[in-house]
Structures are given as structure tokens and as C-alpha cells.
Amino acid sequence: MRSALHNEVDEDYDSSSNASSEELKIGSGSESEENIGKLSFPEFIPRKRNPELEIGLLFGSFEELKYAVRNHAVFNRVEPIFKRNDKERFHCVCKEGCPWKLWASKLRGQDTVQIKTYYPDHTCLKVHKNKYITFKWLADYYLEDFRADPVWKTKHFRSRVRKDLEVHTFRSNRGGDSWWG
């Protein structure tokens, strides 16, 4: 399901930590006795390159959710803004004027985090310099390639990044760890 729970975007809407999974549309593929009354939601796969975010998606922690949102940002060439983060909830939006929005919170009595509201459509322009492409992110993404060829030349690496992610990389002179793409 890739649509929002609400038809209107309400700026004052707050998906509090008290929101339960029962409030979401529930789909169950099996009607067996052990599944009656149990909720079934998809779980996030951490090694997935370009995660498909959706309402009801479960994460082991807020760090996993942030990882997924950063990967979404890199592969879709957008820069979402992490607005409200605390121990119980997570709110992320895109640039002003773009309807993309994500609300998530912990399930009651658990450390599991679930997306409660999600507006998937980006109307903003694609970015050419993505702050989420850091040398740490690149090293993690291309780890297997580095292991296969430990003497991988920089020019070949940059060419591969350009082809895979449609971005140009260069070392930032700002003293940070960003590789702008």
C-alpha cells in the first residue's frame, strides 16, 4: 500500500506514540487458526539497496528507519529533512512545497518501529549534491566491490558511482565527511 491514510495533508497532524497497528489497514494472506487476530506487516530488510517504504513497514529500531530513509534519499536523489525525532516517534519531510512525508512511532510496549503515515510522492526537483552520500555510505554500499578488488582505482570507482547513482563525486573541501554527488 503506497498511499497515505488520510486524504488531506494536515500540518497539525501528530502521529503520537500511542497510535496502534490496529489503526492501519490490515491485510492477512492466511485465515488459519493461529493467524486469526494476529496482525501481519512487512518487515524491513536492512541490506536492501533501495528500500520501498510503505505504511505498516516494521523496523527493528529508529536507526534502521533512518538508514532506510537515507537510502531512499540517495536512490531517489532527494534530501528529506528529519524534523522530529525522540525516543517514541519519528517525523521526516521533504523540501517546502513537496508533499512527501513520513511519520513513524514505536509499537506499544515494544522497541519495534512502524511507519504510520506515508505520502510517497515527490514533486521537488532532483538534487545534484546529496548530503546523504558520505564516504561511509559509499564504503558500505560498495564493500563487496572493494573486497573483490582491493586496489580499485579512484577513477574507476568514481565512474562506477556515476553510472550506478547518476551523481558525480568529489572530495568535499569543507573538512566534513561528505562526498557530494
- Please give the pLDDT value at position 134: 86
Same domain, 38 and 113: yes
Residue-level pLDDT at 176: 52
pTM above 0.85, yes or no: no
Per-residue pLDDT of 154-178, as tens digits, reads: 889 889 988 888 887 766 555 555 5
Which pLDDT belongs to residue 15?
42
The reply to whether 66 and 141 lie within a common domain is: no
Does the residue 12 lie in any domain?
no
Distance between CA atoms of residues 82 and 173, nearest Å: 25
Q: Kindly state the average pLDDT of the residues 64-91.
A: 90
**Is residue 65 located within the same domain as residue 103?**
yes
Question: Are 73 and 150 found together in one domain?
Answer: no
Owning domain of residue 66: 21-119
Q: Are residues 46 and 101 in the same domain?
A: yes
In tens, the pLDDT along 41-75 reads 878 877 667 888 999 999 999 999 999 999 999 99
> Same structural domain for residues 107 and 148?
no
* Residue 90 covered by a domain: yes
Give residue 13's pLDDT band: very low, low, confident or very high (50, 70, 90).
Answer: very low
Residues 139 and 115 in one domain: no
Do residue 139 and residue 97 come from a single domain? Answer: no
119, 145, 161 - which closes a domain: 119
Q: What's the N-to-C CA distance of the chain in angstroms?
A: 31
Shared-domain flag, residues 34 and 87:
yes
How many domains, in total, are found in the chain? 2
On whether both 166 and 140 belong to a single domain, the answer is yes
Asked if 168 and 108 sit in the same domain, the reply is no
In a domain, 11, yes or no: no
Q: What is the DSSP letter of 180?
A: E
In a domain, 147, yes or no: yes
Which of 92, 119, 146 is where one domain is finished? 119
The answer to the question of residue 62 being in a domain is yes
- Which residue, among 94, 105, 1, 103, has the nearest Cα to 54 in the 3D structure? 1
Render pLDDT for 108-144 as a digit per residue (tens, 0 to 9). 988 899 999 999 999 998 887 888 888 888 888 899 9
